[in-house]
Structure 1
Amino acid sequence: MNHTLAASPPPAGGDGGPARSSSAPGLRSGDHHGSHRHLLLAPGAATGEGRIDAIVVPTVRHRLRLGHAAALARELGCPLLVLCSGPYTGTAHLRPLGELGAEVVAVDFAGSAALRLPRFETSTILPPRFRRKTDTAAKRNLALTLARMLSWERVVFLDDDIEVGEPGDLRRAAGLLDRFSAVGLSIAGFPDNSVVCHAYRAVGGAQESFVGGGALAVETARDVAFFPDIYNEDWFYLLEGDGLRPLAVTGTVRQAPYDPFRTPDRARTEELGDVLAEGLFWLLDEGRTIDDAHHGHWEDFLVRRRRFITGVLRRLPDASVEPAERRRMEEALKASLGRLAIITPDLCLAYLDAWRADRKSWGDFATLLPAARTVDDALRALAAPGHRPFTTLRLNPPRSAKRDRSSSA
């Protein structure tokens, strides 16, 4: 088997079939799949448009990051649900968003422990060093819960650092939800990848971005899925029992620049999720199923992963980057290797078993959710014993009774 880096051929594809690849030719590794985009369907330009029931933005950043999403919501005629946490955002800070004319419902997210949501085995089985300190997955799960209670059947998840150039792309994504469980938008601008994959690209590797939760339209009434609290949680959302759920891609959004090498801890906390997701998608790339993710697969894949990261490290001295950037990349890759050293096949298998159990628990929970008229009504019903309902802010509520169910009143 070829474990060296070699030049890759130009990608191919077309409308009506697998999504067209957009990366330039580069180096490829026999131990890493730099693209999974052939797993997506690109239905083509004839796609009809559909309604959007809500745009959801989980955020910890300043309200200025939300202006674009608010303008989109106004243009598309749907509410913007903002799930806030941290010192820079929240209901106390977002009132100026009302000047943009959009219907906005902001929620101060105080943590999933304050809600009557399932307690996921995927969170409890992991040793403390593997647990994440972010709340993005929990916010998205709350949004899915609210969507089912409020009969929001077509929801668009957007990150606060994503810009949508053409609102019609979101309408076309919503239109595809009649046929697909989820529809992603291609990420342009700054690449949306893990730290390791950013480093691979920097040394000349042929690396693309897959679709993800940063720009994703989902159908919530017909399909029941959840976001586990792990890096690549959006990839897990897109999976079902034995493979990928019906998934398409249309349109383009732009990712704002960020620094993937700012701290080695980012690479360290991503590693388990990157191993699990890339290990499963490796099987899907080969036409196999998740059921093939047995002990032997993880033994082999962990060896491949170490060989891949080590190969990127070896190429760093020749990378066309500044010396300071090279040092930070090296520190990040070594952090990934350090975390990889304590990931075992048994841990991978245990996580997948927990994920399967959580999928069932979430499905049972979602099918029994009561209907609610407003976000506030839903949050009161979801408040855990001993916890107050989350604080909300309602801006520019709709006048019609039909749309009033989307407000926080």
Structure 2
Amino acid sequence: MTTAEPGRLAASVHHHGRHDALIDTPPHAAPGKVDAIIVPTARSAKEMAYAVNLAKRLGCVLVALCSRWSIFTEVVKVARPFGTEVIVIDARRLPPGVLPRFSTDRLLAGTRFYRTTDTSQKRNLGLLIARLSGWERVAFLDDDITIPEPSDLKVAAGLTDRYAGVGLQIDPRSPSFPDNSVVCHAYRDAGGDQGMFVGGGALVVGSASMTSFFPNIYNEDWFFLLGEDNLRPVTMVGRALQRPYDPYEDGSRAQVEELGDCLAEGLFWLFDNGGSIQDADAVFWQSFLARRISFIADVVAMVNRMPGGGGKRLRMLAALKAARDRSERIKPDLCTQFVARWRNDRVTWRNHVDELQERHRVKNAEKVLTTLGLTGQSRYLSS
């Protein structure tokens, strides 16, 4: 590990804390229209009031995809008084055939690496509704994100003809919070030079980008931004705020993230060095996985050198141990298989959406709910 000079952040030789060179400087463009804001919500219904009001201010549709503590009938009650166009869907159990079966899911099903959260499923449902409704530009927004300047979403929308994804920069300063994995949070908290990349928590995409999908794995938004062999063009504008949380509260969070963090950081390591997905063979993954474990060891050493003590340090160390234990179980063959299957799943997704579009030329959001068999578990509120 590299030791930091006084007043400077530390950097690990085993980790790229920043991928800034992969993000284009945004050119000037006229603001665009946001057709819809899509929120994969899992928090209580009252948390949706902000996003509904934001959609009303922008004059666009709000799509709330509900599960866990977000009860769709309660979200309807929250949204109705705003008098704006809102689609609320109970996304806990989707009818068969709404979304395709992905081979990456079959690869991980029944293993410790399978991700049980439904964020990816809800984002894919949002993409499908957008395509069938004929929307040109949509904004993905997590339910713990706020946008200080709503016009930033219009600026981002104006760039979607040039970029596969336009992210809003998550402000790491209080009262906001950085957008990183648990391991990268620990690296930053211990003094590491850790940045942030374009993420799905505040992301605007155009219709051309909807040929991609979100695999069911941590860093699914990074995979969404990939093309066949490399990262598609991305940029960042504006500013977003993420509600603070304790990333070290539960060690299982680091475990769940580890496979996706290894896969995404591994591919982005290649991109940083001028490589492509074609270079991600078993030899590369064997080397990168060893590098990942060394990086976690670097962070553990940094945490142990932090001044003071207390519960936070112990929670950080417990989370890092959980991440390391999970990382040690990841094999190069699993990484190569996942990437190969993900590439096949890209074709599966495109074919699925194209087939639905060919069969159902509705181009109307309310009718799309009927097309997908969602009328019994959704509500459409007109403006």
**TM-score normalised to structure 2 length:** 0.93
Q: Report how far residue 213 of structure 1 moved.
A: 0.4
Q: Given the alignment of the two structures, is residue 190 of structure 1 paired with residue 173 of structure 2, yes or no?
A: no
Distance, in Å, in 2 between the alignment partners of 1:89 and 1:192 is 26
Distance, in Å, in 2 between the alignment partners of 1:176 and 1:356 is 26
Instruction: Report the 3-state secondary structure (helix = DSSP H, G, I; strand = E; otherwise coil) of the residue aligned with 2:54.
Output: helix
- Are the aligned partners of 1:5 and 1:29 in contact in 2 as well (CA < 8 Å)? yes
Q: Which residue of 1 aligns with 2:369?
A: 379
Q: Given the alignment of the two structures, is residue 37 of structure 1 paired with residue 26 of structure 2, yes or no?
A: no
Q: Which residue of 1 aligns with 2:89?
A: 107
Structure 2: stretches of 5+ with no match in the other structure: none
Q: Which residue of 2 aligns with 1:6?
A: 3
Q: Which residue of 2 aligns with 1:131?
A: 114
Instruction: Report the 3-state secondary structure (helix = DSSP H, G, I; strand = E; otherwise coil) of the residue aligned with 2:347.
Output: helix
- Are the aligned partners of 1:8 and 1:28 in contact in 2 as well (CA < 8 Å)? no
Pairing partner for 1:76 from 45, 55, 58:
58
1:108-165, CA deviations, whole angstroms, 9 ceiling, x for partnerless residues?
Answer: 1133564432100111101421111110100010111111110011010000111101
Distance, in Å, in 2 between the alignment partners of 1:109 and 1:146 is 13
Q: Within 5 Å, give how 1:156-235 maps onto structure 2.
A: 156-188=139-171, 189-221=176-208, 223-235=210-222
* Cα distance change of structure 1 residues 364 and 214 upon mapping to structure 2, 3 Å threshold: same
Moved more, 220-229 or 107-116: 107-116
Distance, in Å, in 1 between the alignment partners of 2:142 and 2:45 is 13
**TM-score normalised to structure 1 length:** 0.88
1:206-227, CA deviations, whole angstroms, 9 ceiling, x for partnerless residues?
Answer: 0011110000001124651000
Distance, in Å, in 2 between the alignment partners of 1:107 and 1:374 is 16
Distance, in Å, in 2 between the alignment partners of 1:124 and 1:8 is 47
Instruction: Report the 3-state secondary structure (helix = DSSP H, G, I; strand = E; otherwise coil) of the residue aligned with 1:212.
Output: coil
Structure 1: stretches of 5+ with no match in the other structure: 10-23, 399-409
Q: Within 5 Å, give how 1:1-400 maps onto structure 2.
A: 4-7=1-4, 25-44=8-27, 46-112=28-94, 114-126=96-108, 127-188=110-171, 189-221=176-208, 223-320=210-307, 322-370=309-357, 371-383=361-373, 389-395=375-381, 397-398=382-383
* Cα distance change of structure 1 residues 135 and 199 upon mapping to structure 2, 3 Å threshold: same
Q: Which amino acid aligns with 2:281?
A: H
- Are the aligned partners of 1:203 and 1:320 in contact in 2 as well (CA < 8 Å)? no
Q: Report how far residue 263 of structure 1 moved.
A: 0.4
What do you get for the CA RMSD once the two structures are aligned?
1.8
* Cα distance change of structure 1 residues 98 and 389 upon mapping to structure 2, 3 Å threshold: closer
Distance, in Å, in 2 between the alignment partners of 1:223 and 1:276 is 22
